[in-house]
A and B are shown apart, each in its own frame.
Chain A
Amino acid sequence: MSSTSQKHKDFVAEPMGEKPVMALAGIGEVLGKRLEEKGFDKAYVVLGQFLVLKKDEELFRDWLKDTCGANAKQQGDCYGCLKEWVHGFMS
């Protein structure tokens, strides 16, 4: 069982509201910047993409990788973070 980071815990603890995309677990400054350049400036936009991809892990990870060059760990973190958030706030 991999432990979750503080970022993850912080993110899934409350509604994301207008949090920036950098608040997502796995997304730091560099990746966040890249995502913003592509138009994903807020965490909820990435959430939107996640939902559009039907919460499919593989697709989302691929997308993340293609969009901002996240490595496997970052992808995993981000996916896990969003998944848990969705589980907590959208089910």
Chain B
Amino acid sequence: MASAQLTDEELFSQLKRLGFTPGPVTENTRPVYLKKLKKLREEQQQRGSRVLKSRASTAVSTAVSIAAPRPSRHDVTQLSAIRKPGRKSSVLGFSSDESDAETPLKRKGLAKHRRITPCHQQLAGPTDKQNIAGTTLNLFSSPLDHHQSVHESSRHYDESGDEGEEEPESPHSVNGREVTGLNKTAGEYSDSDEDGVLSGDRERNLPEPRRSRTAAPISPSDNRDSQVKGKNSSPNPPGFRKMVRAEDEEVNGEEVDPFGGSQRYARKSIYVSLAEQRGAKAGKNHFDSEDGAARSNSGARFSVGLRPRFSGYSSPAQTHKGNHSNHSPPPNHAYSPTAPKKKLSVPEDELLLQFRREEPASSGSFSAHYLSMFLLTTACLFFLLLGLMYLRMRGSVEADGVIKRHPFGSEFDQSYVEEEKELILTLLLSLHNHLAVVAGQHDCGDPQHPNRSLSMNQSATYLQAQNQEFERFTLVALEWIIRTDQELGLRLLGEDPHVPVTDVSEISQLESTHPRMPFTCRLRKAFVTVGSKVVLVAAAAAMVWGVVRYLKFRWRRQEEETRQMYDMVERIIDVLRTHGEACQENQDLLPYLPIPHVRDSLVLPQDRKKMKKIWGRAVCFLSANESRIRTETQRIGGADFLVWRWIQPSLSCDKANPMPSKVWQGQAFPLDRRNSPPNSLTPCLKIRNMFDPVMEVGENWDLAIHEAILEKCSDNDGIVHIAVDKNSREGCVYVKCLTAEHSGKAFKALHGSWFDGKLVTVKYLRLDRYHQRFPQAQACSTPLKASSLRLSSTPSQQRASSAS
């Protein structure tokens, strides 16, 4: 560990500056203090403001510088040395919060690391970390450096205790890799994940310069670092930001950027806002004071891009963290402490992200909303207009003064002069209208017009009233009407309504075939018609629905009853069986049980009336279908009873078989507040992992389980029901106790014990759920006792030891 690293004194002073008085920083305590410094910085950062931009950029640049100097996997010193300067430079120029870069970087790195792991699993590589890093490099250029460095960093952490360095490394490489992926699909991503692309792009750029420098690991990177350092020297946040920005752009400019500047600029805008948040968070992670800025910059950068994905992926990241830990414990150390810190920022990021995303969405939706409303109103208006027009048209169709067209044919035209024609036609028109009105009013129930039709005289009078000259042509017009075959809207009725009129003289009534009703009347009629139809339909539907419901209800009730009956049957069988077995052992008992007694013991008094029917059915069922129970009449105590006798030969022969060796093998951990609920919550327990259903042999292994539990809780006389779920893969056993206190005792006895080589866990179950599952347990109230008093299932000696 050379000069470039944070020396002990520096670490010491950093810690002191943050208000914490550390002990001596030795080789052994170094990592611990580094972690502490990180954490303190993170806390500080959370309290401070967020300045992302500069951090992001610096972070990226730092990342670049950091990633570059890692040529060999085993060159830990070099790596750390190189890392330090890079970080230092970024830290120096960093904004007020020194701790900015580190946290996000770390977090990002971790998250990204994890996140990328699944994505890039397929990439070959000895370890996950290497894969992660390798992908980036493979995609971009130099393959091994990055992931080696990443791997180095993680390993680094463990071995050298230089944890701070590790974190930025991984994110860097990770980011680079991410960038790669992103860059490839920039088109897709740019819309949805601008930040990621942004950062990705930047990171891509960053690794490239680094890569170019990989050959000469230390010095160029140092130079670069110093460059960064120089650039970032001003402590003024905005100034720094600008500088970093400039540097960033310089970096970008250096590289061949397939994505082009436009993307970058677009991203930058988003970057700014997001970077703020990210950078602040990122910064917190950095713990080294000098290096903090650099790291935080890179972290921030990463975080900017990473955050959106980060938050989204935090859960898979976490799982991958688990995976990582499986692979190698040392790296796990690095991850686990930072993971919780990461988690803290994730929800904030998510919120931020959502907020930002919602904003553009809302503005768009506004216009969409207005548009839809507008369309809707337009449509409504249109239809309204249409309706009005239609109505108006209907009313106005006969308003023409001069009827140009007439149905009488050319003959009519020839025989009369123009004005005569007109007169006739007008006459007819007015007659037609009048008749229509009359008919309409009559139809509407207007008392003024009792008749639908007008007699000749009335028509003649009306026509005369209209126009004197009509009189001449009345008969002529009517004659023409008779002559024509077309439907005119006028009907001429003779004495006999059914005989068509052939001559004018026969006409006695005139009727309109197109009654014109006033508007309101029409509307009213329409409503009435429609309404009645709707009501009819609704009534029919309601009836059908009612019938269906009723049928369903009936069916369900029947099902319920059957279920209850079977349940009762089962309980009866249980009771009889236990009684039978008890009789086996105790010859004093009568081998049969009176039916009423069984009923009264199984059914609570208040339910007896309700269950009468079910009981009856159960009894019938038993007598018909159960072969192990025989119904007979016995005299008990002087009274005749119908009794049930259990006639299945007992299972004593099975008991003779050796029980599978299931023994309790000790307690795995002492139960304390941390791993058990403070007080027992319910009287029901669910015990897991007591057996493996596929491995179980023999017929009565569940009885062995029963025994084992009872023996383990031999001091607990409150267990009333045990049920072994034979089909559960988890090996579940359900236990019900008399009271919660008893179950608490049982819990303490069982939870965390080893049984048959498996670690048993217990949890509380809700009583109602338990009863749902095991209705027969509702009635159990007698404590169960282990059948064999010899404690065959507890080992003779046990040593409770903490997990070793």
Contact = CB atoms under 8 A, between A and B. Distances in A.
Contacts of B36: 58-59, 62
A47 interface: no
Contacts of B302: none
A77 to B, nearest CB: 5
A59 B32 contact: yes
Contact of B24 (A5, A31, A52): A52
A5 B798 CA distance: 13
A52 B802 CA distance: 26
A28 B803 contact: yes
B561 to A, nearest CB: 52
B26 A52 contact: yes
A6 B674 contact: no
Interface in A1-53: 1-7, 25-32, 49, 52-53
A69 B26 contact: no
Given A62-B35, A73-B674, A7 B28 contact: no
Contacts of A52: 23-24, 26, 28-29
Contact of B674 (A2, A7, A74): A2
B754 to A, nearest CB: 15
B333 A5 contact: no
Contact of B673 (A1, A30, A49, A69): A1
The A contact surface, by secondary structure, is helix
Contact of B804 (A4, A27, A49, A54): A27
A69 B333 contact: yes
A65 B161 CA distance: 12
Contacts of B161: 66
Contacts of B33: 59
A57 B32 CA distance: 11
B800 interface: yes
Contact of B802 (A1, A67, A74): A74
Interface in B160-204: 161
Given A1-B673, A62-B32, A63-B31, A73 B802 contact: yes
Contact of A66 (B23, B158, B804): B158
B333 to A, nearest CB: 5
A73 B31 contact: no
B382 interface: no
A42 to B, nearest CB: 15
Nearest to B23: A54
B367 interface: no
A89 B802 CA distance: 24
B333 A65 contact: yes
A62 B337 contact: yes
A89 B35 CA distance: 30
Contacts of A67: 28
A73 B671 CA distance: 11
Interface in B640-674: 669-674
Contact of B29 (A2, A26, A31, A63): A63
B670 A3 contact: yes
Nearest to A63: B32
A5 B670 contact: yes
Contacts of B29: 49, 52-53, 59, 63
Interface string A62-91: 110111010101100100000000000000
Given A2-B674, A3-B670, A63-B32, A28 B804 contact: yes
Given A69-B329, A69-B333, A6 B32 contact: no
A77 B803 CA distance: 10
B801 interface: yes
Interface in B10-50: 21-24, 26, 28-29, 31-33, 35-36
A86 B675 CA distance: 27
A32 B672 CA distance: 24
Contact of B672 (A3, A29, A63): A3
Contacts of A74: 802-803
A70 B125 CA distance: 29
Contacts of A56: 23
A74 to B, nearest CB: 7
B802 A25 contact: yes
A63 to B, nearest CB: 4
A11 to B, nearest CB: 12
A78 B161 CA distance: 21
Nearest to A34: B329
Given A5-B801, A69-B329, 9 more contacts: A5-B800, A7-B802, A27-B804, A52-B29, A58-B36, A62-B36, A63-B32, A69-B333, A73-B802
- Kindly list the 6 A-B residue pairs having the minimum CB-CB distance in the complex, ordered from nearest: A28-B804, A2-B672, A54-B23, A63-B32, A69-B329, A62-B32
Interface of A: 1-7, 25-32, 49, 52-54, 56, 58-59, 62-63, 65-67, 69, 71, 73-74, 77
23 contacts: A2-B670, A2-B672, A3-B670, A5-B670, A5-B800, A6-B800, A7-B802, A28-B801, A28-B802, A31-B804, A52-B23, A53-B23, A62-B32, A62-B35, A62-B36, A62-B337, A63-B29, A65-B333, A65-B337, A66-B31, A66-B32, A69-B332, A74-B803
